[in-house]
């Protein structure tokens, strides 16, 4: 009788494993890399001398492209968290 109850409890709690599976962690890693890539695209463009003006800081890459890449990375992270495993 006790053995039967233990088996029933195990079967009921079988789906109470980890919140994420291996695929979710892979997607989270990819999203993290996308965000880091966006921040790397923002680096640079400064002048060598503090009195000089460098127009590179207003480049398309730093003003438009990099924030869009970072935003896409965060949206991808939300998708990776919300994705349910196929069973």
Exposure letters 13-39 (e unless 16+ CB within 10 A, then b): eeeeeeeeeeebeebbeebeebbeebe
Q: What would the pLDDT profile of 27-48 be if each residue is shown by its tens digit?
A: 999 999 999 999 999 997 777 7
- Say if residue 6's pLDDT is above 60: no
Q: pTM value?
A: 0.73
- C-alpha to C-alpha distance for 29 and 76, rounded to whole angstroms: 10
- Say if residue 67's pLDDT is above 80: yes
pLDDT tier for residue 86 given thresholds of 50, 70 and 90: confident
């Amino acid at each position: 009788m006790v053995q039967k109850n233990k088996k029933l409890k195990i079967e009921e709690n079988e789906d109470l494993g980890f919140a994420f599976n291996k695929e979710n962690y892979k997607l989270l890693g990819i999203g993290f890399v996308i965000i880091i890539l966006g921040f790397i695209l923002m680096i640079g463009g400064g002048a060598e001398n503090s009195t000089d003006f460098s127009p590179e800081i207003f480049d398309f890459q730093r003003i438009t492209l990099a924030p869009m890449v970072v935003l896409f990375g965060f949206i991808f992270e939300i998708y990776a968290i919300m994705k349910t495993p196929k069973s």
